[in-house]
Chain A
Amino acid sequence: MSRSLSLRHKLLLLVIPLIAVFMLFNYFVIVAHERDMLREEAKSRAKAIVTVLAAASENAIASLNTHDLQLAADQVKQLKDVDDVAVINREGAVEAGSDIETVGRKLDEPLVTAALTSGQQQEDFNATGSGTLTIVEPVKIGDKTAGAVKIVLSLSHLRAALAASRNYIFALTAVLVVGAVAFMFWLADFFTGPILAVASTARKVAGGDLERKVKVVSSDEIGVLADSINEMSARLRGMIDQERAAREKLQHRVEELLRLAERVSGGELTVPPAPEGTDEMGRLSAGFNDMVRNLRLNMETQRATLYELEESSHALAEANRQLKELDRLKSEFLNTVSHELRTPLTSIKAFSEILLDNDGDDRDTQREFLGIINQESDRLTRLINNLLDLSRIEAGRMQWEMEPIRLREVTDACVNATRALVEKKGLSMTVKVPDDIGTVGDRDKLIQVVTNLISNAVKFTDSGGSITLSGAKIGDELSLSVIDTGRGIPREYHEKVFEKFQQVDTSSTREIKGSGLGLPIVRSIVEAHGGTVKLDSEPGRGSTFTVVIPAADLSHLKTRAVDPAEVLAAVQAAFPQSASAEPPPTEWVEVEKPGESGKNRRILVVDDEPTIMRVMRHILESEGYTVLEAANGMEALARAREERPDLVLLDVLLPDIDGFEVLERMRRDPQTADLPVVVLSILEAKERSFRLGAQDYFNKPIDRGKLVETVQALLGEGNQEIKILVADDDPHILQAVASMLSSRGYRVITARDGLEAVVKAREEIPNLLVLDLYMPEMDGFEVIRKLRAWDQTSHIPILVLTASDIALDEARALTLGAARFMNKPFSENELARMVREALTRVIVSKSAVEKAAEGRGFTVG
């Protein structure tokens, strides 16, 4: 059966043939049964007839009364359905019968024969035609078979009855079948109807109509199915609702995320984080949040970088501005210097020429002119000296001769020097300086300071006024004021007067001429002594210049402390315990190292970039080298050949021929083939540089330390060979000094106390000792004494680092061994400079110097 058929049809197709077959079977069984019944009935009737006839025939046979026999036979023949009757004798011949023609004839029929012989009733059913039943009953007299009676019954009636019955049954069966089929249809509809209804609902549900419910009419399986479907659809509805809610929620989140993403892509990075979670959306949100966070982080980093860039660009701009300002100041300075130099020169030139050309002038005029020439020459000399002083101080090249000195000595010297000036102007001068206050300083420079201040006061004070020098010791400081009763200086000029070539340019100052360098020099010198100078003045009320410098308690110094023995005496008086055991002290002085008259190595720097040149010049000159410049390749070649510098620093990108070609040509020229060359370039050209014969190669920007180290190494003066012993009990200072010195290539040995310093100094014989004065075990003074006492260490120069402002310490240490002093705190450059300077010196006993001075001659430092 095809699967496509409906259940109803399947049921009908299955049941209807079944009913039909059953009914047919029934029909045939009933018909067969009916027939058998009828046949049996016919048979029993025939038997009854035969039996009656046989009984009736018994006597007749026995008596052979044929008539009776015939009569009986006829009577029987009259009976319904009897077709044939025959009475047969023992021999088988017919005695009487319905068929007259057969009477007397022997009936040769197997049935008859069988009956006669067996004495048993025989029967035969013949279905041909309308059907007959033949029965033969033997007739017995006693036990003997006397004959037989034969009867043939026609079955036509029977057959008709059977046919009628059959028709009836058939009709009944047909009716039943129809009824059954109809019932089946109804039954099929009865069962499939609800199923179809359920199915239809289910289909509708499947089609999306989840509101539809199957009507539950029964509690049977279909009811259960309907219930299940209803439940299923309800569940489905629930699920769909859930799904829809979830989808809406998801959509909401997606939209929100999209909104956020749009804001982010619009540049807004401060959006709130999207809600995170463990589902995909949540993870997506988390990823999004991460992304935004990273983006923000990147942006912030970039912003920071940008900010730094801006900062550094500002710094650069500021540096540039400062450079420009410096440049402006420099050219202004040069202009002023030019003016200041040319003015006296003009008078000198003019009057000398006048004198040369005119010999007719009178003697007085000639003397006047010569006087002017002389005066202006002095002015020029003063100016040049001042200029040199100032630039020396500013460049840190001034050789200070520091010594203990009484303030009164200074002021006395100044008063003497300016007496003529003061008197000439008609001024009075008062000195109020105690005898017992003093400092450690450069005597001549301090005299210069005070003289400058006095002559300044003289210049600005009108005749009849007075000048007062007032000194005092206030705490650790020494104060000296130069007070005048002059016209005073307006407040706005108070700072300006200390600037170079700045003169207070008012009408009344016209006639007062100075170099414009006096006060700047005063300030430079005072600052170099660790002091300050300030001005207190108001127009019309005079001016007071006050110098404040560190004081030293030198009450024991009676006179100028030029004689070390006197200083020593003072020291011994102050420290009797250390001095008592000392033998008469040897005097030690510092002299320039023989054969080391400044290194003065010349380096040719080839670079067309003025700023780079300035930087290189600064670096190299601060290391004590002389810098030769060349701004292009040809100039470089020429200067290298003519001047044969000790080293060439060569840029690659030059305006005419590039650095490689310069290098190549230098190597070909026998004059320059051996000069060490270091290539400096922004290009990565190390290999090429080395191939062409460069000794080293640097990428720009230049690292100062590396450059200096390389230069020193190439010039065979690496600091590696220079041992410096640093002794300080403060580990931080020790560390700082050691690392400053090592970074400059010196080999540094450290000691944490005086004893260790002495031991190490003896072991290592350092080129320099950097010494703290106050240390445990053994103080710095003792260290110096010990070193001086031993031949191998007596020459070692000593740089004393001291945090104390006690000048007495300095005096004592100086006396013990001509040490150099440096006050803490100090800058790295300062330290480097002091170390460099100290390294060019050795310490020898004063007597040795005196002896040597007669012969070859050291220079006393």
Chain B
Amino acid sequence: MAKKILVADDEPYVLRSIEYTLSKAGYNVVTAVDGEEAYTRINAENPDLVFLDIQMPKMDGNSVCKKLREDPEKKDLYIIVITAKGQESERLFSLECGASEYITKPYSPRKMLERVKEILGE
């Protein structure tokens, strides 16, 4: 059974590129376009891996991350935040909010896929 990955980003093209890359690699991709939708869908779908854009409407990625970590079941969920901000402090803040790691826009879809494979143990 294909691993399930949730991708949340309010930028449709960004979302499309990630979805395309991961789907093509055989993953089951679930998308969300804002923080609230991401949170709801993560709880509903129980993905193996989550990509969260930080700057999203309704609830930002960091808040989603924090809220997920409050649930003991989601303690070990692997969360990758996608940040478009250049500052180190912003990245650190994301880690503090419970992100497992972060990637900075723009990123290489190829490398992202390699990393996903590593994380999901394939």
Contacts and interface: CB of A to CB of B under 8 A. Distances in A.
B63 interface: no
Interface in A319-375: 331, 334-335, 338-340, 342-343, 345-351, 353-354, 357-358, 372, 375
Contacts of B11: 343, 346-347, 513
A843 to B, nearest CB: 47
Contact of A510 (B21, B34, B104, B109): B34
12 contacts: A335-B85, A339-B85, A342-B105, A343-B11, A347-B14, A347-B17, A350-B21, A350-B106, A351-B17, A353-B110, A507-B34, A509-B57
B30 to A, nearest CB: 18
Interface in B50-72: 55, 57-58
Interface string B59-97: 000000000000000000000000011110010000000
B37 to A, nearest CB: 10
Contact of A345 (B20, B58, B106): B106
B109 A350 contact: yes
A339 B16 contact: no
Contact of B106 (A334, A346, A354): A346
Given A335-B90, A339-B84, A376-B13, A349 B108 contact: yes
A354 B84 contact: no
Interface of B: 10-11, 13-14, 16-18, 20-21, 24, 33-34, 55, 57-58, 84-87, 90, 104-110
Contacts of A348: 106
Given A338-B85, A357-B109, 20 more contacts: A335-B87, A335-B90, A338-B87, A342-B105, A343-B14, A343-B84, A343-B105, A345-B106, A346-B105, A346-B107, A349-B106, A349-B107, A350-B14, A350-B108, A353-B108, A372-B16, A376-B13, A505-B57, A507-B57, A509-B57
Interface of A: 331, 334-335, 338-340, 342-343, 345-351, 353-354, 357-358, 372, 375-376, 505, 507, 509-510, 513
A507 B57 CA distance: 7
A288 B1 CA distance: 102
Given A347-B14, A347-B17, A350-B14, A342 B87 contact: no
Given A346-B105, A348-B106, A350-B109, A510 B10 contact: yes
A319 to B, nearest CB: 25
A343 B17 CA distance: 12
Q: Is the interface of B mostly helix, strand, loop or mixed?
A: loop
A331 B87 contact: yes
A510 B14 contact: no
B84 A358 contact: no
Contacts of B58: 507
Nearest to A503: B57
B107 A358 contact: no
B57 A510 contact: yes
B109 A353 contact: yes
Nearest to A508: B57
B105 A354 contact: no
Contacts of B20: 354
Nearest to B36: A507
Contacts of A507: 34, 57-58
Contacts of A343: 11, 14, 84, 105
Given A347-B11, A505-B57, A335 B86 contact: yes
B86 A338 contact: yes
Q: Which 3 A-B pairs have the closest CB atoms?
A: A350-B17, A349-B106, A347-B13
Contacts of A358: 24
A851 to B, nearest CB: 50
A342 B104 CA distance: 9
Nearest to A334: B86
B33 A510 contact: yes
A153 to B, nearest CB: 174
A516 B14 CA distance: 19
Contacts of B104: 342
A345 B90 CA distance: 19
Given A338-B84, A338-B86, A510-B57, A346 B14 contact: yes
A327 B80 CA distance: 30
A491 to B, nearest CB: 21
B13 to A, nearest CB: 4
Contacts of B109: 350, 353-354, 357
Contacts of A353: 108-110
B105 A345 contact: yes
Nearest to A338: B86
A342 B84 contact: yes
A331 B11 CA distance: 23
A776 B57 CA distance: 65
Contacts of A372: 13, 16
Contacts of B18: 350
A357 B110 CA distance: 8
